[in-house]
Amino acid sequence: MLTVGSLEIAHPFTQAALSGYTDLPMRRVARRHGAAYALGQMVLGTTVTHASDWQRRLLHVPADDHPVGAQLLGGEPHEFGPAARALADAGYDVIDINFGCPVHKVLRRRRGGWLLADPPAALDIVQRVLDAVGGDRPVTVKMRRGLDDSAESERRFFTILEGVFERGVAAVTVHGRTVKQRYAGRSDWEFLRRVKRHVGDRVVLGSGDLHRATDAVTMLRVTGVDGVSLARGAIGNPWIFRECLALWTGRALPPLPSPAELRETLLLHFREAVAFYGPRDGGMIMRRHAMKYSRLHPCPRKVREALIAMKEPDAFAAVLDAWFAPDGS
C-alpha cells in the first residue's frame, strides 16, 4: 500500500507523467495491466485555463480513470493556482507540480527543472497550489536531484525539498539524474537513499533507470523509497506493472507477452486512441506507441519498418494482421 495524503494506492508501482504519452488511452491500458495510480501528461497552466479542444479532453475525467494525478508545468507562479483549482474541480485526485523537466525549450522559459535554481519561486508556486486545492486534494512535487552536480545545486534541492514538506505537500518524486544530465548517464540511487533518510516518514517516490520490473523492485529495496514512478520503461510495455507486482509479492516473473497478447493490447490501445482523438489523429498517434510495443515482438526491426511505412491510419490494422496474428504466430 502507498499512501499519498488522503489517497490510498494499492501498491507502490505508479505510472509517471510522460509528455506525449500518458493520455487517457495509455492510462486505461496501464490500469488493465496492473497500474494502480497514473499521472496524465504534464500540462501548462495556461492550457488548463484557456478554452480549446485539448482543454475539453483534459478536463474530462471518466469514472474508470481513478486514482489519477494531473501534472502542472509553468514558469509564472500566478498561473498555477487557477489551473490547479480547475483540475481538481474536473476530478483529478492529485495535483502534481513539475520541477524536473530537462527539455531545453522548457528550461529556456524558466519552467520545469529550471525552477530548481530558484527556491523562492518554486516554493511560491507550491504555496499557491496548496492554497488553491490543498484542503481537498493531495499536492505532490516532481524533482530532479538538482541542476547539476555542484554543491550549490544540491543545497538548493534540499531547500526546496524541506520547504515543500513544511508547507504541506503529501509526497515528492525524485529522479536520480540532474537536469544537466537529461537522460544520459546513470540515475544516482544513492542520492535517493539519502533523500529518504533525510525526510524520514514523509513519502518519497523514486525515478530513473526503471527499465525492467527487477529495476523497480531493486530500487525499493536498496533506497528505502516508498514507491517508484515508472516512466520510459512503461511506454509500450504495460506488462511491467504485473511483473513488478509478481516480484514484489514473491511470485515468479510472468512470461513475456506473446504476439497474440501484444495484438490484443494494441487493439485495445488503438480503439481507445481513436475514441479519444478521432480516426485520423488517433491512428497516427497510435503509430508512435506501437513502435514502442514492437520492442517486445520476436521481429522488432521488421515490425518497426512496417509501422514507419504506414501512411494512413487505416493501415494500422494491416500491420497488426501481418505481424500480430490472432493465433500468436
Average pLDDT, the chain: 92
CATH superfamily, domain 2-248, is Aldolase class I (3.20.20.70)
Give me the amino acid identity at 321.
D
pLDDT per position as a tens digit, 69-125 = 999 999 899 999 999 999 999 999 999 999 999 898 988 889 989 999 999 999 999
Q: What is the pLDDT of residue 273?
A: 92
Position 310 pLDDT exceeds 80: no
Task: Give the strand pairing for 94-99 and 68-73.
Answer: parallel
Which residues are known to be catalytic?
Answer: 101
pLDDT of residue 169: 97
Percentage of residues in the chain having pLDDT higher than 90: 67
Distance in Å from the first CA to the final CA of the chain: 39
> At 328, is the pLDDT very low, low, confident or very high (cuts 50, 70, 90)?
very low
Q: What HEC string does the chain produce?
A: CEEECCEEECCCEEECCCCCCCCHHHHHHHHHCCCCCEEEEEEEHHHHHCCCHHHHHHCCCCCCCCCEEEEEECCCHHHHHHHHHHHHHHCCCEEEEEECCCCHHHHHCCCHHHHHHCHHHHHHHHHHHHHHHCCCCCEEEEEECCCCCCHHHHHHHHHHHHHHHHHCCCEEEEECCCCCCCCCCCCCHHHHHHHHHHHCCCEEEEECCCCCHHHHHHHHHHHCCCEEEECHHHCCCCCHHHHHHHHHCCCCCCCCCCHHHHHHHHHHHHHHHHHHHCHHHHHHHHHHHHHHHHHHCCCHHHHHHHHHCCCCCCHHHHHHHHHCCCCCC
158 vs 278: which has the higher pLDDT: 158
Please state whether 12 falls in left (phi above 0), alpha (psi between -120 and 50) or beta.
Answer: alpha
For residue 115, what is its C-alpha cell?
A: 525552477
pLDDT of residue 314: 72
Angle between helix 259-277 and 24-32 (nearest 10): 150
Closest CA to 287 of 319, 265, 261: 319
Residue 280 has pLDDT above 90, yes or no: no
The model's confidence at residue 27, banded by pLDDT at 50, 70 and 90, is very high
Residue 327 banded pLDDT, cuts 50, 70, 90: low
**What is the rounded distance in angstroms from the CA atom of residue 245 to the CA atom of residue 152?**
39
Range of weakest confidence among 49-58, 179-188, 205-214, 319-328: 319-328
Higher pLDDT, 290 or 24: 24
Per-residue pLDDT tens for 210-266?
999 999 999 999 999 999 999 999 999 999 999 999 999 999 888 888 888 888 999
Summarize the confidence of residues 11-24 as an average pLDDT. Answer: 94
Lookup result for grid cell 533507470 = 209
Q: Give pLDDT tens digits for 176-195.
A: 999 999 888 899 999 999 99
Closest CA to 142 of 325, 7, 17, 315: 17
Which of the two residues, 324 and 76, has the higher pLDDT score?
76
Those residues with Cβ within 8 angstroms of residue 56's Cβ, 6 or more apart along the chain or in another chain: none
What pLDDT band is residue 326 in, cutting at 50, 70 and 90?
Answer: low
pLDDT band of residue 171 (cuts 50, 70, 90) is: very high
Place of cell 527556491: 119
R_g of the chain, CA atoms, integer Å: 20
* Whether pLDDT at 64 is above 70: yes
Is pTM beyond 0.85 here?
yes
